[in-house]
Amino acid sequence: MRTAGRGYWANCLYCAFGIAAALDCDAVVTTRYGGEDEVARYDVRRGTGVVPPSSDVFHLSTPPARWWDNVIFACSSFQPFRSEADVDRWCRDHALPRGAIMSLGALWAFARDWYGSYLSTPWRKRSPAEAQALFTRHGLIGPFWRIT
């Protein structure tokens, strides 16, 4: 991802949106659909999110209760797609479970809430209850989102 001042590396689109939220600035995020060959580009506007709004979706194959088992793998399984049908194909081709699907607007709001204060307050790991409350606040409910 790139801001007006410099470039940054992020593990996944969620993390890239989080960097833009923490920096509180405009950014251009470039990644690949399904981590494969077609480039996806998202213009993120400070405080607004992705502009223009995109119909792309974001898929998380690994549930939050398993993120820290192998956070690099978890992030690599978080990918943007043009459609839910593309998610299904990707999951089949890579033998990964279909997890949760979010709109990019929902992903931006969640990333902003999760990462937005990282530069203004000392970091501390959220408790499971705090993380669960944040998921719930963003409508991320159900078995996939259950931490314990």
- Helix, strand or coil, per DSSP, at residue 36: coil
Q: In what order do the strands lie in the sheet with 78-81?
A: 78-81, 57-60, 100-103
Residue 147: the pLDDT is 93
C-beta separation of 21 from 115 below 8 A: yes
Name all domains of the chain by residue range, CATH numbers in brackets: 13-145 (3.30.450.410)
pLDDT of residue 148: 81
Q: Which two tokens stand for residue 65?
A: 């209760």
pLDDT score at 72: 93
Q: CB neighbours of 81 closer than 8 A, spacing ≥ 6?
A: 33, 34, 56, 57, 58, 59, 87, 90
The reported pLDDT for the residue numbered 54 is 85
CA atoms within 13 A on the CB side of 18: 15
pLDDT tens for each residue of the chain, 148 residues long? 999 989 999 999 999 999 999 999 999 999 999 999 999 999 999 878 888 778 999 999 999 999 999 999 999 999 999 999 999 999 999 999 999 999 999 999 999 999 988 888 888 889 999 999 999 999 999 999 999 8
Q: Which residues of 107-146 are buried (b: 16+ CB within 10 A; e: fewer)?
A: bbbbbbebbbeeeeeeeeeeeeeebbeebeebebeeebbe
**Would you state the pLDDT for residue 27?**
96
Are the beta carbons of 34 and 86 closer than 8 angstroms?
Answer: yes
- Residue 50: its pLDDT value, please? 86
Structure confidence at residue 25 (pLDDT): 93
